[in-house]
Structure 1
């Protein structure tokens, strides 16, 4: 599944780029992603979101680099779950609008499903190991 590995690397690059932009030029990124333009003192919220993106990106890089290790790959799968939970919670609290977050609401579940199908295909379950 080289395609999944490269997709994880791609999302790592996107996440790190967003982190760097949120830390250095939040106004530039906020013009492209207005859902993160929330009133905060000195742009604290965008910088905090940037740190979240960095953490998610590092989890995806870890999963992509060590796809053959079950634990590393599980960490990368959790990054998609965290992104979905974050987006939905911000939608519920009225900070985000549905239209501004369609990409996250479509890509994150698709990447999770793709990762989960790979995980189930590659890593045997405990029952399969015991039966061997």
Structure 2
């Protein structure tokens, strides 16, 4: 069941990734072809072992079908260690050149025994609440 704040969730090997996205009209401009969203991620370790988030892999698609692949270490400059029952929250943002699009991806974790775990980040839409020019 989804937490009431989060709209989307995926579970992989006991790791739950929850997402909520919000359009930010004050940081967007239709005249400049720039729309911006903030997204809140909660990663929950429901497994019986500690895991360390080592990298992120995003697929960001705009309304025109343009795809931007983003890969990097950790999340917002951190590589959190999540023990069983722990969670980690962070907020980041995504600009697009169109008033709608989508995001999805995966996080790569390592367990203490060296096993790599690829945890899904659920698909979620990005939809501008307002598209009037500024």
TM interval, shorter chain, is under 0.3
Higher strand share: 2
Larger Rg: 1
TM-score normalised by the chain length of structure 1: 0.24
TM-score normalised by the chain length of structure 2: 0.24
Higher helix share: 1
Larger relative contact order (CA 8 Å, sep ≥ 6): 2
